[in-house]
Structure 1
Amino acid sequence: MFNSNYTCKLDPKGRLALPSKLKGAIPEANGESLMLRMAEDRCLAIYPMVEYKKLENKIKALNIHNPEQRALQRAFFNSVVEVEMDSAGRILIPKNYQAYAGLDKEVVVSGNGGRMEIWTPENFSKYVSLEPEDTSALMEKYLS
């Protein structure tokens, strides 16, 4: 599982070195391939293959004859790309993915259970509350 958050740098070529704690949480059987998706709230989601395959199977199982489900399939499969970690543990983020998320030099990489997310610092502050009382209220609402 991926957790916590880290401030990182995107190099001029668009490469991001994954924080060692997050890289260490990627299952060994995964290999060097990860799936990168344009995700909710203008962040990018990084999935190890086992987590991606779970999500992919759910999307593939939707009914292509249902217009709404077909639209979801198209949107999903057109917003995802395979990326490879190099020997230094870096991934290359394609330019159109950088543009979608508004990424510049400084980014926040955060763990979110089965996936990692890449944010601009501004969007991270906007969409991810680190206030314990906010988290407690949501836990009470959804986990009680």
Structure 2
Amino acid sequence: MAFFTSEYECKLDAKGRLVLPAKIKANLPEASSNQLVAMKGFDSNLVLYTMPEFKKIQSKFIGLSEFDARQRKLKTNFFRRVVQVELDSAGRFLIPKAWLDHAKLEKQAMVIGTGNTIEIWNPEVYDQYMGTDDDFSDLAQEFLSE
């Protein structure tokens, strides 16, 4: 299983391509090292999944009922937010325009390893979202203390 950590400042080229940081790329599973799944995040960000990680989530959505309107709507909403991307020989991948717009990405990006996924943020949006170290401390106490 891939494990991603840390944060990296990256640049997008004029075509909307992003080079994955070497430390992130080195942790991609060999079997799917050039194929990733990009999803519009629930926040103003993008989330990258390795194929094995995405298949775990995909199986849950595939199991939803086609006959239940709410489940059908959830399934449609999920899959319309997802696109497969492929790394080229330089370790770059093209971010589709709608995904760039969703994450407010222009020239700069923050690439964040979040354990089993990779998040991509506009640096200013990321700073606002993350808040202060006090916020982090409060969240850790709320969710991790016994």
TM-score category (smaller protein): over 0.9
In the alignment, is residue 37 of structure 1 matched against residue 6 of structure 2?
Answer: no
Moved over 6 A (4+): none
Deviation at 1:129, TM superposition (A): 4.1
Q: How many residues align?
A: 143
Tell me: CA distance 1:45–1:134, structure 2 relative to 1, closer, same or farther (3 Å): same
Distance in 2 of aligned mates of 1:10 and 1:31: 20
Which of 78, 81, 94 pairs up with 1:79?
Answer: 81
Alignment RMSD, CA only? 1.3
Matched, 1:141 2:135: no
Written as runs of structure 1 = structure 2, the 5 A alignment for 1:1-144 is 1-129=3-131, 131=133, 133-143=134-144, 144=146
What amino acid is aligned across from residue 135 of structure 1 in structure 2? F
Q: Which runs of 5+ in 2 are unaligned?
A: none
When the two structures are superposed, what TM-score results if normalisation uses the length of structure 1?
0.92
State the TM-score, normalizing by the size of structure 2. 0.91
In 2, distance between residues paired with 1:66 and 1:126? 38
Q: What is the percent sequence identity of the aligned residues?
A: 43
Of stretches 22-31 and 1-10 in structure 1, the one that deviates more from structure 2 is 22-31
Give deviations 1:63-106, integer Å, cap 9, x for gaps: 22222221110011111111100011111111111111111001
Secondary structure in 2 aligned to 1:40? coil
